[in-house]
A and B are shown apart, each in its own frame.
Chain A
């Protein structure tokens, strides 16, 4: 009997990650640095021939309240979104969520009157 351990190595931080998260669903990004790889073509479906690294760019919130991570491929600029796993790095998640508020493009004083 052979035991197969399903792992992948993160292309950004080099961490060896188990391919299944704690909830049983399959991971598609590293839980430590949240980077991913462009292996799935979301437009046509099926495997993608890009294979480049995908950086997390923002946090999206579904109507159900679940968080999604929006990834962007560094090579072909494709955007994908994937659900947040339970053991994802919360510091990086929170940093991405508050990132727009650090440098707002308009003054925030006007919102105090609302």
Chain B
């Protein structure tokens, strides 16, 4: 039987793989070094020499977009690994444990979710000092409560399945239930959700870099590049618009990939 892949999955996977490969290959693909100013080529429009133009310091925009992908995509992946990974692990553990642990943790999650995350992210990033590492830490940890709640409810329905009861009746302990049955069965949901979350993590990280709390000059990063290009956007549009397109295209790729994975891994969609 040939299984047809949903179009969203194909498109999303193609865009995502393209963006990641191109970013990883930046040292070989970039026509210019990303951080070397050239006073002879300031704010040049796109041309054969500079396919995406140059910025106010004469740096090649295309090279900076390619290098910036490493920072921007790397940060997004780090944030998602932390927030979805930790959230899924804690959510599954809390749901499986049940009782007062579950009640206590969920009240804490309610409190955490009632605090505006972006304000906390701004304050914490400023307090810890702006850097990409701190950005990952702050945005990653701030995403944990939301993911914890999501994967807790997934686990609650998983927990009632007969194969879990069979394992419990056999005498399987907490760690065995979690590691052998719950987490492997959550894996498709985790992968799907992580992929969609990459899109919003990328946008969020770019936004914080835009306000100066992420990448520091001269590091190439998409959000920081948009910030650098904002003053000239009405005339030398390529400085801000082209990195913005890179953010938008990557986010679209991640979201399509997430949608496609959800459709593809959901057994109820298999019949079509």
Please indicate whether A and B come from the same complex rather than being unrelated chains: no
